[in-house]
Amino acid sequence: MRIVSDHGEVPARTVLEETGSFDAFSIEIRVPSHTWVDRDILCELAGDAVDRAWLDRLDTMVAYAERQGWVDDRGRIRAHLEVVQADVVAQAGSGTD
Confidence band of 88 (pLDDT split at 50, 70, 90): low
Q: Average pLDDT of 19-28?
A: 92
% of the chain surpassing 70 pLDDT: 90
The neighbour count for residue 19, using CB atoms within 10 Å, is 9
Q: How many residues does the chain have?
A: 97
Q: Is the pLDDT of residue 96 over 60?
A: no
Q: Average pLDDT of 32-49?
A: 92
CB of 11 within 8 A of CB of 41?
yes
Using only C-alpha atoms, the chain has a radius of gyration, in whole angstroms, of 18
Q: Average pLDDT of 13-37?
A: 90
